[in-house]
Amino acid sequence: MSALLFRRVLVATESAPPAEADVLIENGIIRGVETRGFAEHEIPPDTRIIEGGGTKILSPAFFDPHVHLREPGKIAAETIQSGTEAAINGGITGVVAMPNTTPAMDNGPMVKNACDIAARTARIPVYVCGAITKGRQGEELAAIAAMKAAGAVMISDDGDPVENPQVLRRAMEYARDFDVMLASHCETKVLSGPGAINEGRHAYKLGLFGTPALSEELCLARDCRLAQFTGARLHIQHVTTVRGMRTIERYKNEGVRVTGEVAPHHLLFIDEDIGDFDTNYKMNPPLRTPEDRAGLLEGLKSGLFDCIATDHAPHTDFEKKREFVAAPNGITGLETAVVSLFHHFILPGHFGWDLLVRRYSAEPRRLIGLPPATITAGARAEMVLFDPQATTTFTRAFMKSKSVNTPFLDKTRQGSVEMVVLGEAVLKG
């Protein structure tokens, strides 16, 4: 692509509602953003012109700091290539891959291997998260310095907590000294037990052992206190309860370097949506109560949450179609996040595009030390054209992920990711 002109689009930013402008891109760089449009002599020959009609949104491309790409190991469910194609399909041009692969991403060569695979097979940047402990077993520290040297941008044992507080303390001290952020999956296993659903009325109705919110909240409070003691940078993954959110707020107010994320599925669904054992709604941490869902949305709007992250967790049909308790936790999210958040929150006016850009584009990049993508003159083109008047039906044919374990399968939502641009490449559209 030599030149691309978006004409009469609504340009989204993290600080203001979308405003109409023309955006001209040459050789992957934004040449200008003009509210009055470009004169004919300013437009290079053979420029591809995209009409926005005063309704289509041109947004900075999105970034997901919490995804599972399954490679190496469970490549029947996902690969780095298929997962990143799913990301592009959903308007995302950068992801952070979690380390719960087989074997676990717990040393420098493993991190380098993942980076090398991404460089060969992915059309977008893939950033790697290393494990906190060897094998993610929670007992012995992984090679934190070597993983950072190989390219790891954070460490986490995501999928499991580090149950031993002394081990986690030492990990935080190493992470602090090597300036690596530690991301925490908060769960107290002895309280979770074999739970496959939130502890409450619906679990009782289905005859299932429930996981109490206390399991998450106790571990979250412990990890925040350890971060306060050690001075480490701590990121709390997939927060699901109001009490947990308020704990993060309290420690932030006390000067602790702690951030938090919320997943779209915890903003959209509750435990009762599981219905009669629908495993597409089974995840860890589980879907909570209507009160928690409402509180999480208010926390996102008020800024208590730093970012949105899908926790994209692909599983094969064979795995997910097992009996509910035996089925694995997790749902996919890369392809459904932007459209579903638009449909359920922006369209009815619960929040605007500025919040979505801030929490799912700018802040996730800042979280790992990247500059945010912006639609400003001189910036590299990294953007999404979104049509709010179109619809998206999440059929198997539409999905680029190898797995379709999502509550949105075969459902239609308002809005469509029409085009994705990264530098000189049009990745979609």
Q: What tens digit of pLDDT does each residue of 112-127 get?
A: 999 999 999 999 999 9
Average pLDDT over residues 392-419: 98
pLDDT at 403 over 80: yes
Cα 338 from chain centre: 11
Residues 178 and 309 in one domain: yes
Q: How far is residue 234's CA from residue 226's CA, in Å, rounded to a whole number? A: 9
- Domains in the chain, number: 2
CB atoms under 10 Å from CB of 208, counted, come to 19
Q: How far is residue 69's CA from residue 328's CA, in Å, rounded to a whole number? A: 15
Residue 274 has what pLDDT?
A: 96
CATH of the domain at 390: 2.30.40.10
pLDDT digits (tens, 9 = 90+) for 18-71: 999 999 999 999 999 999 999 999 999 999 999 999 999 999 999 999 999 999
Residues 215 and 118 in one domain: yes
CB atoms under 10 Å from CB of 73, counted, come to 14
pLDDT at 361 over 80: yes
The string of DSSP letters for 173-207 reads HHHHHTT-EEEE----HHHHTT--EESSHHHHHHT
Residue 298: domain span: 62-367
Length in residues, the chain: 429
Supply the mean pLDDT for the chain.
Answer: 97
pLDDT at 1 over 90: no
| Percent of the chain with pLDDT strictly greater than 90 | 98
397 backbone φψ class: left, alpha, beta (φ>0; ψ -120 to 50): alpha
Residues 141 and 22 in one domain: no
Contact 304, 235 (CB under 8 A): no
pLDDT at 296 over 70: yes
Residues 30 and 173 in one domain: no
Residues 204 and 345 in one domain: yes
pLDDT bin (cut points 50, 70, 90) of residue 194 is confident
Residues 96 and 232 in one domain: yes
Give the predicted TM-score (pTM) of the model. Answer: 0.97
Residues 88 and 185 in one domain: yes
Q: Which of 327, 349, 367 is the last residue of a domain?
A: 367
Residues 7 and 128 in one domain: no
Q: Which of 367, 399, 420 is the last residue of a domain?
A: 367
Residue 154 lies in a domain: yes
| Percent of the chain with pLDDT strictly greater than 70 | 100
CA distances from 341 to 45, 125, 142, 345 (A): 38, 23, 36, 6
Residue 101 lies in a domain: yes
Residues 136 and 273 in one domain: yes
Residues 422 and 355 in one domain: no
CATH of the domain at 251: 3.20.20.140
Residue 63 neighbours by CB under 8 Å, 6+ apart: 92, 93, 94, 95, 360, 361, 364, 365, 370, 373
Residue 207 lies in a domain: yes
Residues 387 and 349 in one domain: no
Q: What are phi and psi of 207, to 5 degrees?
A: 75, 35
Active centre residues (catalytic): 311
pLDDT at 193 over 90: no
Token pair belonging to 357: 């850009």
Q: Which of 316, 335, 367 is the last residue of a domain?
A: 367
The string of DSSP letters for 263-308 reads -HHHHH--GGGGTTT-GGG--SSPP--HHHHHHHHHHHHHTSS-EE
Residue 372 lies in a domain: no
Q: Which residue has the tokens 């310095």?
A: 145
How many CA atoms does the CB half-sphere of 422 hold within 13 Å? 17
Residues 187 and 241 in one domain: yes
